[in-house]
Amino acid sequence: MEASSVSTRDMSREEWLRYRRKGIGGSDAAAIIGKSRWKSAFSVYLDKLGMEDDQTSPVMEMGNLLEGYVAELFTRESGKKVARRNRTYTSKTHPCMMANIDRYVVGEQAGLECKTTTRFNSSDWDAGEVPPEYYWQCMHYMAVLGYDHWYLAVLMRDSGDFRWYQIDRDQAEIDRLIEAEEDFWGLVQRRTPPPSSGLESETDKLNELYPADKANGESVDLTELGRDIQSRVELDKQIKDMSKIREALDQKIKRVMGECQLGRAGSYKVSWAAMQRCDIDRKVLMEQFPEAFRAASKMTGYRRFEIKEVK
């Protein structure tokens, strides 16, 4: 084993949360290496600096409660015995890397990660591939503990469908992850934010950090970001041009489809379906039912971001 450890058996949740900020955990790995679809390295950075609220959602609590059941299902389906280790591990060679594992597999250099989800998210698993967030989590654990492989078990809460996967150690991937995590931890220590991710979740986080009710009328010098701003303006132009090209292609296809709702071209299926929607005429509602309009209206502050070229 390449890791030291401390017991978490008698730790309170607050103590455990403070301790986990001393390093990078498995659930942070995909975000740090830029492979998470939902979480950015910036969010992890804020968390390590204690700037994120530690909130447990009902879904997270359900996952914690079902962890033992998922582990039991894994044993039943695979024939492999698992055991709990109430410890937090820290890599001896890369001390910024930590691991809190769900179970270890008896008699193997392997561990088990337990997950729950719903049929709504089943497409993440239907192709037989492990979603990137969980793949990199398992790679992180193998990097910390030096294990040969990791098992991932997932239960669909609403259907009872259960699946499990074996993820083998890939040293090239682990070396890549170690480099990314050590670089990230250097940023945390220097209090230097990581590069922006482009994820919507990071935009949401920035809107949360800098809300409309705290905005002031002051101006800031953005000279050092001049090239980035110019690139942003050029991208806007390219997007508009590409959107026009796409619209022209749609128009060409629609001309041929006419009144038909479906079309095929090789492996492609095209749909131009007849649908209905209900739109609310705000002006009519406000004039004829002003009380109902006021009761149903909600004023929300927001900040509009735009870039204009000054002539």
Query: What does the pLDDT look like over 244-270, one tens digit per residue?
Result: 999 999 999 999 999 999 999 999 999
Q: Where are the domains of the chain?
A: 3-204, 216-282
State the amino acid at position 76 in one-letter form.
Answer: R
Percentage of the chain exceeding pLDDT 70: 96
With cut-offs at 50, 70 and 90, classify the pLDDT of residue 60.
confident
Token pair 């990660």 is found at 113
What's the whole-model pTM score? Answer: 0.85
Mean pLDDT for all residues in the chain: 91
Residue 187's Cβ-side half-sphere holds a number of Cα atoms within 13 Å equal to 18
In this prediction, residues 63-88 reach a mean pLDDT of: 92
Q: What CATH number labels 3-204?
A: 3.90.320.10
* pLDDT for the residue numbered 15: 84
Among the residue ranges 59-63, 64-68, 166-170, the one predicted with the least confidence is 59-63
**Which is more confidently placed, 10 or 188?**
188
pLDDT at 300 over 70: yes
* pLDDT for the residue numbered 127: 66
